[in-house]
Amino acid sequence: MKNKNNKKINSFLETDGLIKNFGELRALDNVSIQVDRKEIVLLIGPNGSGKSTLINVITGFLPPDEGKVFFEKEDVTGKDPSELYKRGMVRTFQTPQPLPEMTVLENIMIGITSKGEEPLTALFYKKWLKQEEEILEKALDIINFLKLSHLTFKKAGELSGGQMKLVALGRALMTNPKLIVLDEPIAGVAPGLSHEIFSKILELREQDVTFLIVEHRLDIVLKYIDRLYIMFNGKVIAEGKGEKEIKEVLNDPKIIEIYIGD
């Protein structure tokens, strides 16, 4: 598989010249990014620079006007979110949408759609029960991993913002994803819990999960990331890989000016 410059697609996730217009406005202007397996990649940029549009296109919530998305070297451009989820790509949203009257456990369990819901399979009641049990066990393991056990039966509507972000991550984990796209995972979350969320992200990376993250809180996130992309006016204007390069990019006067101008 090759991109439009006839270069071989090598990365785990790659976008190639994405363009997305909303009427007259070009929200994505020839955006090409790369994410390697087991990387934690951060996407930053001032408000309106195109970050959400980019992750919406990658995760299949918006089709691009031009350009391609490659996931595990396959062209997945325009595939819908459910197809991508089957391939191992999940996402969370800026504002978590838990079902407030349901418990934390139930909110995490619904991350997976029970195969038992298919009418034919449901006829085999024993099999269905076994699947439900497996889903329950898995959700309890995730709750344990995220240190949410004390909240297992609490209604999601009673959680703090940070706890809701953790539940959203838990829900994403139900599908054994290979890539998790996180939209502002620590916005509005206290520093202590924010670091806890990122230490879980590091642990998951060790289990072969890759992360693409949009987050404004650089002060907290910087020490956890492997690669950084900076967007402005629909374009990627800078990229850094590794601690040294990332620091250089962030100290670039042009980049600082864009942020101060924001």
Ligand X SMILES: Nc1ncnc2c1ncn2[C@@H]1O[C@H](COP(=O)(O)OP(=O)(O)OP(=O)(O)O)[C@@H](O)[C@H]1O
Contacting positions for ligand X (CB under 6 A): 22, 25, 27, 45, 47-53
Q: Is the dihedral of CA 225, 231, 234, 236 positive or negative?
A: negative
CB of 130 vs ligand X, minimal distance in Å:
42
Q: Give the SS3 label for residue 251.
A: helix
Sequence-separated contacts (24+) of 155-158 with Cβ below 8 Å: 155/100, 155/101, 155/102, 155/103, 156/98, 156/99, 156/100, 156/101, 156/102, 156/103, 156/104, 156/107, 157/98, 157/100, 157/101
CB of 51 vs ligand X, minimal distance in Å:
4
CB of 249 vs ligand X, minimal distance in Å:
17
Q: Which is nearer to ligand X, 25 or 99 (CB)?
A: 25
CB of 230 vs ligand X, minimal distance in Å:
11
Q: Which is nearer to ligand X, 26 or 195 (CB)?
A: 26
Q: Which is nearer to ligand X, 39 or 184 (CB)?
A: 184
Nearest-angstrom CA–CA distance, 19 and 31:
7
Q: Which is nearer to ligand X, 28 or 225 (CB)?
A: 28
CB of 194 vs ligand X, minimal distance in Å:
18
CB of 48 vs ligand X, minimal distance in Å:
4
Nearest-angstrom CA–CA distance, 214 and 133:
35
Those residues whose C-beta lies under 8 Å from the C-beta of residue 98, and which sit 6 or more positions away, are 107, 156, 157, 159, 164, 167, 168
Those residues whose C-beta lies under 8 Å from the C-beta of residue 137, and which sit 6 or more positions away, are none
Q: Which is nearer to ligand X, 96 or 170 (CB)?
A: 96
CB contact at 8 A, 109 and 135: yes
Nearest-angstrom CA–CA distance, 202 and 40:
8
The token pair that represents 27 in the structure block? 């929200």
CB of 49 vs ligand X, minimal distance in Å:
4
Q: Which is nearer to ligand X, 52 or 107 (CB)?
A: 52
Q: Which is nearer to ligand X, 6 or 47 (CB)?
A: 47
Class of residue 47 by CB neighbours under 10 A (exposed 0-12, middle 13-18, buried 19+): exposed
